[in-house]
A and B are shown apart, each in its own frame.
Chain A
């Protein structure tokens, strides 16, 4: 029996990137901020994206806890040129996605959630 595309962490990222063209980069990062797997354009450094994810988690967690919003579920950052989105992928990892400004966030989140569920099963 052959493995489907989404049976590996790399496959999950490739599937996610393939389903939404506005996704420019995506990565699975441990909750401690270490890169696990990524699908990135050549000008994006994996370690840099992992560090950015870690910094976003730290600040996001602080904001959520300090303002009584409970445990952190996701962090979203919008710049003029697009979004950086981080969501939990199981207990020990996060899924980080970078999109263009024209991305339809509803669709992106839907596919990110599906991908995160697969990641949670694989890690």
Chain B
């Protein structure tokens, strides 16, 4: 959380997760389709095939003097250092897990990396909401299987989403925004 020179409070939210899991798609959907959030410009640092190289970024406002600086990370394994940089100063995490069975290991690796980077503040000082994305896949993993895979108990809010259609994305975003506001502003 930081205050800018106009006295506005900035809260940083980061979409995290394995490569091609739907992080950028979810952010683009929020940017393009969701009313009621005032949005600034969409900034993307990506390669020629539109894969995220460093991050995507959109500032959003739910009104008043509170702004959300919303980032995604580059999911490919080789961008580990960039992900660590993007995580600096984060107030909340939206973890986007991929429901494809062939992404089982990538989900685990990404989640373990997140836990390694943030340590025990994850879930305690830095709230996390998990999106189980691509729920429209016919061969998707079950919800329970994914939660077991990630070692998630009942304390983390879970949303089943289809980012390409926007299903569940807004609710997941509202949930992490609310968790962060509760944690940072109403201590």
Contacts and interface: CB of A to CB of B under 8 A. Distances in A.
Contact of A34 (B35, B158, B175, B181): B181
Interface in B162-179: 171, 174-175, 177-179
Interface of A: 30-36, 47-48, 50-51, 54-55, 57-58, 61-62, 65-66, 71, 90-92, 123
Given A61-B175, A123-B36, A30 B63 contact: yes
Contact of B182 (A58, A71, A91, A123): A58
Describe B's contact surface by its main secondary structure.
mixed
B64 interface: yes
B157 interface: yes
Given A31-B174, A123-B36, 7 more contacts: A32-B174, A33-B186, A34-B64, A47-B185, A61-B171, A65-B158, A92-B37
Given A30-B63, A34-B64, A91-B36, A58 B178 contact: yes
30 contacts: A30-B63, A31-B62, A32-B62, A32-B66, A32-B174, A32-B177, A32-B181, A33-B177, A33-B178, A34-B62, A34-B66, A50-B186, A51-B185, A54-B178, A54-B181, A54-B182, A55-B182, A58-B175, A58-B178, A58-B179, A58-B182, A61-B157, A61-B175, A65-B159, A71-B171, A90-B36, A91-B35, A92-B35, A92-B62, A123-B36
A71 B178 CA distance: 16
Nearest to B129: A58
Contacts of B64: 34-36
Contact of A57 (B35, B154, B178, B185): B178
